[in-house]
Amino acid sequence: MSTQLHPRIEALAQDQAFINWVKSGADHAQVNQFLKDGVDLNDIQEAVRLVEILIEPVNKPSTQFDSAQLLGKINNSIGKMDTPQKSNRTRIIRLTSIAVAAVLTVFVIMRLPDANASINTQMAEQLNVDLPDGSNMILNAVTETEFSKKSFNKERVVNLKGEAFFKVEKGSTFQVNTPLGSVEVLGTSFNVFARDDKFEVSCATGKVKVSTRDGSSFVVLEAGQECVLEEGRITRVNHLFEDQDWIDGVFHYKEVNVGYVVEEIERQFDVDIEISDGLDTISYTGYFEKTSLDTALESVLWPLRLDYDLQTNGTYRIFGKQAN
């Protein structure tokens, strides 16, 4: 691998959003956005090739890399685009001080036998990920995952912080570890939510074993059942909604603090929202859809007699409506 890489290519290849874009198939809309933001087509192609090398499974030689489909998709997109306008490249590239040596270090680490793969999502982003054993996980916005690429087929373990829906191929035990608890299955589909002090698991098909990190409390869920972590114990609760509806952009809630719902709206629409003192603990039951920010806010706030406005600093503010 040559060390004569242009800093622009290094920056692209190290950008997590760019890496996730390559993994998800390099959609046409994002190519268009890159070009409009002043990124050179050749830089995009070279960065795609570099990322393909970095994420390729360890046991495959580099001669087997096949990024032709991705590069062909990029080239075929050019004829459909308007002439791009130059703009500040820093809008899409988070420039770093890491030199070529750091890129080579990442390359070596990804090639080590026990190297872990980290796949994360940003605000307002969802990502569909195929795991080495053929299982699949769909990551919600602002979610972090990590797993061993080399040994995954022997030890199927995913570390998760955030929310994800898993479809697990039958085989050895499949385990999802979170900071608050873990889930074990053989072959099934289930949803895991693990943010801050909240840990919730719902089983869509098959059976799952859900336990605390120390193993002192656990339950076995069957299809259609759900559990939560309460006061250090795993407890079954009534399963009222399909928790994986978030994949289709629908978010259900029953008797939760509205501040909790607003946090999800922030993640889904990549916005900052402030709530006046005391309003964040108002109980809310209902849902919002990821169609537009205004629609989502109105559907949640209107039943609670709350309103919102947009501040000059770009932050949304939620406040109580004045009584008539």
What does the pLDDT look like over 2-31, one tens digit per residue? 445 567 777 777 777 777 777 766 665 666
Q: Is residue 276's pLDDT more than 50?
A: yes
In a domain, 277, yes or no: yes
Q: Is residue 194's pLDDT more than 80?
A: yes
Same domain, 11 and 56: yes
In a domain, 167, yes or no: yes
Q: Is residue 292's pLDDT more than 60?
A: yes
What pLDDT, on a 0 to 100 scale, did the predictor assign at position 104?
A: 34
Q: Is there a contact between 36 and 42 (Cβ–Cβ < 8 Å)?
A: no
Cα dihedral value 194, 200, 202, 206, nearest 10: 70
Same domain, 235 and 137: yes
Q: Is there a contact between 246 and 163 (Cβ–Cβ < 8 Å)?
A: yes
**Domain end point (choices 243, 278, 300):** 243
pLDDT band for 57, please (50, 70, 90 cuts). very low
In a domain, 65, yes or no: yes
In a domain, 56, yes or no: yes
In a domain, 171, yes or no: yes
Q: Is residue 1's pLDDT more than 60?
A: no
Tokens linked to 281: 């603990």
Beta carbons within 10 angstroms of residue 57's beta carbon: 12
More confident residue, 138 or 11: 138
Q: Tell me the C-alpha to C-alpha distance, in Å, between residue 219 and each of 89, 174, 209, 242, 265.
A: 51, 16, 6, 19, 31
Same domain, 169 and 78: no
Distance of CA 93 to the CA centre of its chain: 19
Nearest of 243, 186, 183 to residue 212 by alpha carbon: 183
Tokens linked to 16: 């997590």
- Cβ burial of 316 (10 Å; 0-12, 13-18, 19+) is buried
Q: What distance in Å separates the CA atoms of residue 184 and residue 99, rounded to the nearest whole number?
A: 41
Quote the number of domains for the chain. Answer: 3
Residue range 141-158: average pLDDT? 92
Sorted by sequence, the CB contacts under 8 Å of residue 139 that are 6+ apart come out as 119, 120, 121, 126, 127, 128, 129, 145, 162, 163, 164
3-class DSSP state for residue 272?
A: coil
Q: Which residues of 276-304 are buried (b: 16+ CB within 10 A; e: fewer)?
A: eeebbebebebbbebeebeebbeebbeeb
Same domain, 239 and 127: yes
The pTM of the whole model exceeds 0.85: no
Expressed as residue numbers, the domain containing 128 is 123-243
Residue range 203-212: average pLDDT? 93
In a domain, 118, yes or no: no
Lowest mean pLDDT among 26-30, 45-49, 195-199, 257-261: 26-30
Residue range 95-112: average pLDDT? 34
Write the single-letter amino acid at 117. A
The CATH number linked to 304 is 3.55.50.30
What pLDDT, on a 0 to 100 scale, did the predictor assign at position 153?
A: 87
Same domain, 216 and 313: no
What pLDDT, on a 0 to 100 scale, did the predictor assign at position 77?
A: 47
**Domain end point (choices 87, 112, 137):** 112
**Domain end point (choices 112, 139, 157):** 112
Sorted by sequence, the CB contacts under 8 Å of residue 239 that are 6+ apart come out as 202, 224, 225, 226
